[in-house]
Protein backbone atom coordinates (compact mmCIF):
# COMPACT_ATOMS: atom_id res chain seq x y z
CA UNK A 1 0.00 0.00 0.00
CA UNK A 2 2.87 2.36 0.84
CA UNK A 3 4.36 1.85 -2.64
CA UNK A 4 1.03 2.75 -4.23
CA UNK A 5 1.01 6.17 -2.49
CA UNK A 6 4.61 6.82 -3.49
CA UNK A 7 3.72 5.94 -7.08
CA UNK A 8 0.67 8.27 -7.07
CA UNK A 9 2.65 11.13 -5.51
CA UNK A 10 5.53 10.67 -7.98
CA UNK A 11 3.09 10.63 -10.88
CA UNK A 12 1.49 13.91 -9.64
CA UNK A 13 4.90 15.54 -9.20
CA UNK A 14 5.97 14.47 -12.68
CA UNK A 15 2.77 15.91 -14.18
CA UNK A 16 3.39 19.18 -12.33
CA UNK A 17 6.94 19.39 -13.68
CA UNK A 18 5.78 18.48 -17.18
CA UNK A 19 3.10 21.19 -17.36
CA UNK A 20 4.90 23.89 -15.35
CA UNK A 21 6.52 25.64 -18.36
CA UNK A 22 3.18 25.76 -20.18
CA UNK A 23 1.53 27.23 -17.07
CA UNK A 24 4.24 29.89 -16.73
CA UNK A 25 3.93 30.87 -20.38
CA UNK A 26 0.13 31.07 -20.08
CA UNK A 27 0.31 33.32 -17.02
CA UNK A 28 2.91 35.52 -18.70
CA UNK A 29 0.75 35.89 -21.83
CA UNK A 30 -2.27 36.75 -19.68
CA UNK A 31 -0.34 39.45 -17.79
CA UNK A 32 1.05 41.00 -20.99
CA UNK A 33 -2.35 41.06 -22.69
CA UNK A 34 -3.90 42.66 -19.59
CA UNK A 35 -1.20 45.32 -19.61
CA UNK A 36 -1.76 46.16 -23.29
CA UNK A 37 -5.54 46.20 -22.83
CA UNK A 38 -5.38 48.56 -19.87
CA UNK A 39 -2.99 50.90 -21.70
CA UNK A 40 -5.14 51.02 -24.82
CA UNK A 41 -8.30 51.76 -22.83
CA UNK A 42 -6.80 54.55 -20.74
CA UNK A 43 -8.49 57.86 -21.32
CA UNK A 44 -6.49 60.73 -22.68
CA UNK A 45 -7.07 63.57 -20.23
CA UNK A 46 -5.99 67.04 -21.30
CA UNK A 47 -3.80 68.57 -18.63
CA UNK A 48 -5.07 71.94 -17.47
CA UNK A 49 -2.95 74.79 -16.16
CA UNK A 50 -3.76 77.00 -13.17
CA UNK A 51 -5.09 79.86 -15.30
CA UNK A 52 -7.55 77.58 -17.12
CA UNK A 53 -8.77 76.06 -13.86
CA UNK A 54 -9.14 79.47 -12.21
CA UNK A 55 -11.08 80.76 -15.25
CA UNK A 56 -13.42 77.76 -15.26
CA UNK A 57 -14.10 78.01 -11.52
CA UNK A 58 -14.61 81.79 -11.54
CA UNK A 59 -16.98 81.63 -14.52
CA UNK A 60 -18.87 78.70 -12.95
CA UNK A 61 -18.41 76.59 -16.10
CA UNK A 62 -16.84 73.16 -15.61
CA UNK A 63 -17.62 69.45 -15.73
CA UNK A 64 -16.55 67.03 -13.01
CA UNK A 65 -16.10 63.57 -14.57
CA UNK A 66 -16.35 60.81 -11.94
CA UNK A 67 -13.98 57.86 -12.34
CA UNK A 68 -14.19 56.18 -8.91
CA UNK A 69 -16.80 56.15 -6.14
CA UNK A 70 -16.04 55.84 -2.43
CA UNK A 71 -19.20 55.05 -0.47
CA UNK A 72 -19.22 55.44 3.32
CA UNK A 73 -20.00 51.73 3.72
CA UNK A 74 -18.30 49.22 1.46
CA UNK A 75 -15.31 49.37 -0.79
CA UNK A 76 -14.21 51.83 -3.43
CA UNK A 77 -15.34 51.04 -6.98
CA UNK A 78 -14.19 52.08 -10.41
CA UNK A 79 -17.05 53.49 -12.45
CA UNK A 80 -17.41 51.79 -15.82
CA UNK A 81 -20.16 54.07 -17.13
CA UNK A 82 -20.01 57.81 -17.74
CA UNK A 83 -21.05 59.88 -14.70
CA UNK A 84 -20.57 63.60 -14.23
CA UNK A 85 -21.63 66.86 -12.61
CA UNK A 86 -21.93 69.88 -14.91
CA UNK A 87 -21.82 73.40 -13.52
CA UNK A 88 -22.90 75.89 -16.17
CA UNK A 89 -23.54 79.41 -14.83
CA UNK A 90 -27.06 79.09 -13.41
CA UNK A 91 -27.55 75.32 -13.88
CA UNK A 92 -26.20 72.42 -11.84
CA UNK A 93 -26.76 69.06 -13.54
CA UNK A 94 -25.77 66.00 -11.50
CA UNK A 95 -25.74 62.51 -12.98
CA UNK A 96 -24.04 60.29 -10.38
CA UNK A 97 -24.74 56.84 -8.93
CA UNK A 98 -25.43 56.27 -5.25
CA UNK A 99 -24.16 53.41 -3.10
CA UNK A 100 -25.06 53.64 0.55
CA UNK A 101 -27.75 53.50 3.17
CA UNK A 102 -30.79 55.74 2.99
CA UNK A 103 -32.56 56.71 6.20
CA UNK A 104 -35.75 57.70 4.45
CA UNK A 105 -37.40 56.23 1.35
CA UNK A 106 -36.59 58.29 -1.77
CA UNK A 107 -39.43 60.05 -3.57
CA UNK A 108 -38.42 58.46 -6.90
CA UNK A 109 -37.05 54.93 -6.60
CA UNK A 110 -36.32 54.58 -10.34
CA UNK A 111 -33.28 56.88 -10.28
CA UNK A 112 -30.35 57.76 -8.07
CA UNK A 113 -30.85 60.50 -5.45
CA UNK A 114 -27.75 62.11 -6.99
CA UNK A 115 -29.40 62.44 -10.38
CA UNK A 116 -30.93 65.93 -10.40
CA UNK A 117 -30.94 69.43 -11.87
CA UNK A 118 -30.78 72.57 -9.79
CA UNK A 119 -31.33 76.13 -10.97
CA UNK A 120 -30.96 77.82 -7.58
CA UNK A 121 -27.77 77.16 -5.69
CA UNK A 122 -25.05 78.99 -3.81
CA UNK A 123 -21.54 78.79 -5.23
CA UNK A 124 -18.42 79.64 -3.22
CA UNK A 125 -14.73 79.19 -4.07
CA UNK A 126 -11.91 78.94 -1.55
CA UNK A 127 -8.27 78.98 -2.69
CA UNK A 128 -6.25 76.75 -0.34
CA UNK A 129 -2.90 77.45 -2.01
CA UNK A 130 -1.69 78.35 -5.49
CA UNK A 131 -2.94 75.11 -7.06
CA UNK A 132 -5.64 73.74 -4.77
CA UNK A 133 -9.22 75.04 -4.77
CA UNK A 134 -12.37 74.08 -2.90
CA UNK A 135 -15.77 74.80 -4.43
CA UNK A 136 -18.85 74.63 -2.20
CA UNK A 137 -22.23 74.26 -3.92
CA UNK A 138 -25.46 74.19 -1.93
CA UNK A 139 -28.61 73.42 -3.94
CA UNK A 140 -31.60 75.51 -2.81
CA UNK A 141 -34.26 73.77 -4.93
CA UNK A 142 -33.31 70.10 -4.33
CA UNK A 143 -33.68 68.95 -0.74
CA UNK A 144 -32.03 65.49 -1.02
CA UNK A 145 -28.51 66.94 -1.25
CA UNK A 146 -27.23 69.36 1.39
CA UNK A 147 -23.90 70.26 -0.15
CA UNK A 148 -21.41 69.33 -2.87
CA UNK A 149 -17.77 70.00 -1.98
CA UNK A 150 -15.29 69.84 -4.85
CA UNK A 151 -11.55 69.84 -4.17
CA UNK A 152 -9.71 70.62 -7.39
CA UNK A 153 -5.97 70.27 -7.79
CA UNK A 154 -3.57 72.03 -10.15
CA UNK A 155 -3.27 69.06 -12.50
CA UNK A 156 -7.05 68.92 -13.10
CA UNK A 157 -7.80 65.97 -10.82
CA UNK A 158 -10.59 66.46 -8.34
CA UNK A 159 -12.58 64.91 -5.53
CA UNK A 160 -16.24 65.45 -4.82
CA UNK A 161 -17.78 64.93 -1.38
CA UNK A 162 -21.56 64.96 -1.21
CA UNK A 163 -23.46 65.46 2.02
CA UNK A 164 -26.99 64.09 1.77
CA UNK A 165 -29.97 64.91 3.93
CA UNK A 166 -31.52 61.42 4.26
CA UNK A 167 -28.64 59.08 3.40
CA UNK A 168 -24.96 58.36 3.98
CA UNK A 169 -22.41 60.80 2.57
CA UNK A 170 -20.48 59.65 -0.50
CA UNK A 171 -17.36 60.79 -2.33
CA UNK A 172 -16.07 60.55 -5.88
CA UNK A 173 -12.66 60.83 -7.49
CA UNK A 174 -12.18 62.11 -11.04
CA UNK A 175 -11.10 65.15 -13.03
CA UNK A 176 -12.53 68.37 -14.37
CA UNK A 177 -12.98 69.41 -17.97
CA UNK A 178 -14.09 72.50 -19.83
CA UNK A 179 -17.77 72.80 -20.70
CA UNK A 180 -18.26 72.22 -24.41
CA UNK A 181 -20.52 74.83 -25.95
What do you get for the CA distance between the two ends of the chain, in Å? 82
**Which run of H or of E encompasses 24?**
helix 2-40
Give the chain's mean pLDDT.
78
Residues in the chain: 181
More confidently predicted of 36 and 68: 68
Inform me whether the pLDDT recorded for 178 exceeds 70: yes
Per-residue pLDDT reduced to its tens digit, 13-35: 555 555 555 555 554 444 444 44
CA distance 176 to 152: 8
Report the range out of 1-5, 37-41, 89-93, 102-106 with the highest average pLDDT.
89-93
Whole-number CA gyration radius for the chain: 25
- Looking at residue 73, its pLDDT comes to 83
Q: What angle do CA 175, 115, 47 make, to 5 degrees?
A: 10
- Looking at residue 64, its pLDDT comes to 96
Amino acid sequence: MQYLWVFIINKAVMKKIKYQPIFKISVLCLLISTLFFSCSNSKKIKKLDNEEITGMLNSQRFIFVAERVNPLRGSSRILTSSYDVTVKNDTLNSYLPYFGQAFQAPSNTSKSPLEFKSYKFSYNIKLNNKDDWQVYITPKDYSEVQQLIFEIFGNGTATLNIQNLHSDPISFYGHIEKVKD
